[in-house]
Amino acid sequence: MITEILSPNIEITWLPWAVAYFFFIGISFAAVTLTLPAILFGHKQSLGVARVAMLVMLICAIVGPVALLADIHQPARFWHFYACITPWSWMSIGAIFLPIYVVATFIYSWLFLRPALLESKAKAGIVGIMARILGVGSWQGQHLLKLMAMMTLILGMIIALYTGAEVAIVATRELWSSYLIPVFFFTTALLAASSLSLLLAYLMHEDNVTLTSLSRYSRWSALLSLAVLAYWFVLAIFTNGAEARSLVLLQHSTQWQLNLGLLVLLFAVTAFFASGSSKLILLAALGGLVVSWFSRWLIFIDGQTIPKYGAGFYTYELPWGTEGLSGILGIFGLWLFLAIVLYQILPWKNRTESRVEVQS
Amino acid sequence: MDISKRQFLSKVATLSVGAVLVPLSSTSQAGINDQPPRRNGETGKRWAMVVDLRKCIGCQSCTVACTIENQSPIGQFRTHVDQYEIQDREHPENITSLMLPRLCNHCDLPPCVPVCPVQATYQQKDGIVVVDSDRCVGCGYCVQACPYDARFINKETNSVDKCTFCTHRLEAGLLPACVESCIGGARVIGDLNQADSQISQLINEHKKDIKVLKPQAGTKPHVFYIGLNKAFENRINGQSAVWQPK
């Protein structure tokens, strides 16, 4: 029997900011897909979903990169990413596409809001001012909107691919080194995006059709995430790949058993509540957000406490400062702030669907 | 909108989508996650280290000397000596201990290098893996990719830090601080390309007993151990008693 008497405790390197980045950018690119039935395929009843998802996509496309900047320990050197482009590094590829994606979300939501902006030009107050600034010209731009929907979708999928791949190629972390990671990130991102859209739709007094559609997205993405998790266990038990090596490492840890059990339970409860009454679907929305955050927390934060060579686990305690709790609160505060500001200064409240050209 | 405008916009769209995809296709040809060419350092040399565990007494002189030489912050180490207690299952009264010096393995296929998004971490022509701390953005991707937990974000510089085999000392004709300070002479550094170097001779002499950490990782480590039990080649299957700085 071997006992490790002396070995330093290695601190985690990707901080809760990384969890926040993967959480918010995931929500953003998944929200793009929620806008498509209305914008790209002209499904009139999905316009409420598209409107809320558009707002979610936009806010998270700003909050995500802020969290990413905070996670790199030299944020002022971010320009090095562009001065030293490294095509063989997934992170560098991501750094190229991330700002393009963010700009695409700006243009996409701007085009979506154009009819309402043109309509609001004469209004008094901040909405009118913003409409006069952003509503330049008199063109509607609905064909451009479809084009931009496709562009944003492609860019969003590139972000989904790179965020998944940059984690999955880390061969030395068995928990990360799985082709299921990008898939799991996507299904849980879809869950968080539909859950967050559902909460906003409720607050924005969207109709029942919208709430029901979003809760259906939540239910299916929760079930899909559960299926991916189940498949991970199948691979872990019946193959001898990285998933199996992970299970060997984690199976004797009570903490990990509890965490994985809780994860399964949260997905199941979310899926169950998402098919319930109007009050229950709000609980499902909260559950969807919590489980999406929690799954990323497990992968990144707890995943980094697994030593690559030594015995046992490294210890991690959430610090109170910006590297920990106040950072998490801060980034959610930024999200809330942007949500309030963007909701107040842009004409989301106008029934833009009556002005958006849709094929019935 | 007239037809010419529409055609123009559709061409712009095609070009834009194409432009988005071009970088991906070119990178896949370049091989994502492939080792980039080595740069700087001495051509023709291959620095490596042999650690003779039979001679290590776990005094941590190397840890202290490295910390003083390289000024790593308190609680963060470029090298350290892990200590293990091994108890015979059948004869519990038989207890022995192992001192295991750990450092960057300066692998031939270092997984930390291709992941760096700004090429701040690279392998020199002489095999030493270094970090340009002025270029490093502190993203920590290399820390994740290293199979040996040999890298860390320096709390004072906010850049990645790691063992460099004291390349600044080697260039000045000096031994690395850990080698210089080792009481038992357990650490030997040298050029593998030189057949008559002490390290080449040691490796030849102990050919059958030379081991590296995590050989299955496929990284071709260049820190070689003499006297390493097979149970310590890969991740330790045992209990931990983690020491943590207050």
Model confidence pLDDT, tens digit, residues A76-88: 999 999 999 999 9
Cα distance between residue A270 and residue A295, in whole Å: 14
Question: In which region does residue A149 sit, left (phi positive, over 0), alpha (psi from -120 to 50) or beta (all else)?
Answer: alpha
CB contact under 8 A, A3 and B117: no
Nearest CA in chain A to B37: A88
B77 at interface of A, judged by CB pairs closer than 8 A = yes
Q: Per-domain residue ranges for chain A?
A: 13-169+317-354, 209-316
Confidence grade of residue A276 (pLDDT, cut at 50, 70, 90):
confident
Checking if the pLDDT of B63 tops 90, the result is: yes
Q: Pick from B144, B146, B211 the residue to mutate for testing the A interface (most A CBs within 10 Å).
A: B144
CA-to-CA dists, residue A170 to A112, A162, B63, B193, angstroms: 39, 13, 28, 31
Lowest mean pLDDT among A98-112, A114-128, A183-197, B182-196: A114-128
Question: What is the distance between the terminal CA atoms of chain A, rounded to a whole angstrom?
Answer: 71
Give the A window 116-145 contacts with B, CB below 8 Å: 143-144
Give the model's pLDDT for residue A250.
87
B105 closest CA partner among B224, B221, B226? B221
Name the nearest CA neighbour of A212 among A226, A197, A193. Answer: A197
Residue A174 has pLDDT above 60, yes or no: yes
pLDDT above 60: residue A353: no
pLDDT at B89: 87
* Domains of chain B, CATH where assigned: 47-232 (3.30.70.20)
Preferred mutation among A22, A88, A181 to probe B, highest tally of B CBs within 10 A: A88
> Chain A within 8 Å of B13 (Cβ-Cβ)?
yes
Q: Show which of residues 278-307 on chain A sit within 8 Å of chain B, judged by CB atoms.
A: 304, 307
Q: What is the pLDDT of residue B5?
A: 53
pLDDT at residue A124 tops 60? yes
A174 contacts in B (CB within 8 Å)? none
Which pLDDT value is given to residue A351?
A: 47
Give the per-residue pLDDT at B10: 52
Say how far apart CA A202 and CA A182 lie, in whole Å: 30
pLDDT at residue number B27: 37
Pairing type for strands B239-240 and A2-6 reads: parallel
The highest-confidence range among A3-12, A139-148, B168-177, by mean pLDDT, is B168-177
